[in-house]
Structure 1
Amino acid sequence: MNFRILNYFLTVAHEKNITKAAEVLHITQPTLSRQLMQLEEDLGTKLFDRSQHKFALTPSGQFLVQRAQEILDMVEKTTLDIQDQEQNLSGSIAFGAGEYYATQTLAQLIGAFQRQYPAVTFDLFTATADTLLEKMEKGLIDIAILQAPVDTTNYDYIHLQKKEIWGILMRKDAPLATRKAIKACELCGLPVILPVRLQVRSEIFNWLSGDIAKMHFVGNCNLLANTAVLVEQNNYYAITIRPPLMNENRFVFRPLQPALSGDILLVWRRDRQQSHTLQKFIDFAKCFLSIE
């Protein structure tokens, strides 16, 4: 198996037609068919269902699509990382972040770095901390903003000075919208959405304390955009961190009482050789955040 064959395979999977894929790849159909058959032979499994004029992915083929894309993304990223060893700082940095208020700090940091090194580009991936850590383990993300608690055993990190504030996201016309802060007892019997991360949920359960048995939990959500839709359509109350952007004509956010906050970390792998560009960014971030 080589990178060229993986690219052939992904093209066929995308086009769902070997003739169209051959045209896209500028090779003959027989050549492409032979390469795919050789790939299946090397892997010892069928990747496509060719029965009854079908040309669909088998379960093994579907699995390989995901892995092949990750491999090729990693190859492209590695190529860029090697190229940025040249004298003029360039290349790309892959960032990960949740929907945090602290993302504003990351945006300021990226902007300041790019003003000094305009040839450096970035990719930004948005997800929960667990997903971002998984991608960092695979080398698909270089550096991420994560909300504690997270396992930092294999990571170096910088504490951001600003903390994430926990509160309730609700419709502007919700009965609790007139409150300045929300106590646990005020949520009893109301339809409440929780965050999906178990570590974070544990902290919220501690905050709810003796009122937890009286709660009406309707579901869990991982990112704020879809959570806001559920809140608006169903008059739910979402326990969440302060939204980085919020339509104040439709929603209000009220902090919890007693207050609950969480640390935000800028995290990168400790045991991995950093590219010259990434190391420059880390050094820049340490200086930038120390005077924030």
Structure 2
Amino acid sequence: MFQNTNLNLLKSLHILLQEAHVSNAAKRLHITQSAVSRQLAQLREMCNDDLLVRSSNYFVLTPKAEILKAKLDSFFGDFEHLLSDITFEPENWSGELIISSSDYVAQYVLPDICSRLNSLAPQLKINYQLWHPVNIERLHELGIDIASTMLPEKPKDVSSLFIGSDHSVLVMRKQHPLSSKNNLGVTELLSYPHIKITGGADKDSMIDQQLSLLNLHREISLQVPFFTAAVSRLIQTDALMVVPLHIAKNLSKFWAITHKNLPFDVDINKYWLIWHPKFDNDVSHKWVREQIVLSMQDSENSIHLS
């Protein structure tokens, strides 16, 4: 099919299949949108396939295009590796790294990560984005290089590294009426309103699942994506909040809060670094992953890595 095709046209096909968007492809190729449209028409004729089919306001790849994309990903990955320098020198790296996480990680762990990366790669620019669970399917689209998140099992369709685990606990202000009790029951859990943190990964839906088995539900008085806002409200009221143990322990260093075990067993929280598979063999990305893990191991505010 591509016997007499030049490399530029193959590159255009690769970018088009990655972006599934003509104008975005044109920006990456540094040519006009009309030029990309002409190339797409040429490629469709060459491949005897539509390649990109419009669905509502966006394009989707045809089955043949999906196969071609996988082959081109491999081809250009090998090609770029062949042309790249053998050694990677962090001190000369002047790129941009986009990191995504919950605001807890941003406040308490990201500074340690930035400090390590800045000392070893002083020209590297770091761009932070607040993580949302739906972003796991949009890593390439959003340009996220690496993210940290909590998931019950190893995520599919992305590359990942398991970095630790813990369990969830019930958090309250130190002067809370329940703070003097050792073993709390479901009745106590439901006697007070709850604050729910919506930013980052899902942290407490397992509680609602357990309660639903008992035909019970809790009252959510406040939903907010930020830990600081949630804890600020928590210490002013008798509300309760469910968070992972390592977060509860660290927040108690800065806020007048305490935590108790939940009245029933819940699943273990598992923590992961995740990234798009296109970075699996990228030497700079491998280096960044290693440095982030080292930073988390050294940070007293991070989960203990398993």
Does TM, scored on the shorter chain, surpass 0.5? yes
The 3 A distance-change label for structure 1 pair 116 and 101 is closer
Q: CA-to-partner distance for each residue in 1:153-183, whole Å, 9 max, x for gaps?
A: 221111113x244122222211112235644
Aligned equivalent of 2:234, options 215, 231, 236: 231
Aligned equivalent of 1:179:
181
CA contact (8 A) 2:131 2:147 kept: no
Aligned equivalent of 2:155:
152
CA distance in 2, matches of 1:249, 1:215: 24
Aligned equivalent of 1:115:
119
Aligned equivalent of 2:145:
142
What amino acid is the match of 1:175? P
Aligned equivalent of 2:218:
215
What amino acid is the match of 2:122? P
Query: Percent of pairs identical after alignment?
Result: 15
CA contact (8 A) 2:97 2:127 kept: yes
Which residues of 2 match residues 62-77 of structure 1 at below 5 A? none
| Alpha-carbon offset, residue 199 of structure 1 | 5.6
> Aligned pair 1:253/2:256, yes or no?
no
Which residues of 2 match residues 1-292 of structure 1 at below 5 A? 88-100=92-104, 108-130=112-134, 132-133=135-136, 136-149=139-152, 152-161=155-164, 163-180=165-182, 182-196=184-198, 200-208=203-211, 211=214, 213=216, 215-241=218-244, 242-243=247-248, 244-246=250-252, 248=254, 250-258=256-264, 260=266, 261-271=268-278, 277-285=284-292
CA contact (8 A) 2:193 2:221 kept: yes
Normalised TM-score (structure 2): 0.53
CA distance in 1, matches of 2:219, 2:105: 27
Q: CA-to-partner distance for each residue in 1:4-54, whole Å, 9 max, x for gaps?
A: xxxxxxxxxxxxxxxxxxxxxxxxxxxxxxxxxxxxxxxxxxxxxxxxxxx
What amino acid is the match of 1:126? L
CA distance in 2, matches of 1:117, 1:249: 34
Q: 2:156 aligns to what SS in structure 1?
A: coil
Normalised TM-score (structure 1): 0.55
Structure 1 residues not aligned, in runs of 5+: 4-83
CA distance in 2, matches of 1:92, 1:210: 47
| Alpha-carbon offset, residue 232 of structure 1 | 3.1
The 3 A distance-change label for structure 1 pair 140 and 212 is farther
CA distance in 2, matches of 1:183, 1:215: 13
CA contact (8 A) 1:182 1:257 kept: yes
| Alpha-carbon offset, residue 97 of structure 1 | 1.0
CA distance in 2, matches of 1:110, 1:179: 41
CA distance in 2, matches of 1:259, 1:110: 36
| Alpha-carbon offset, residue 256 of structure 1 | 2.5
| Alpha-carbon offset, residue 289 of structure 1 | 7.5
CA contact (8 A) 1:128 1:223 kept: no
Q: 2:229 aligns to what SS in structure 1?
A: helix
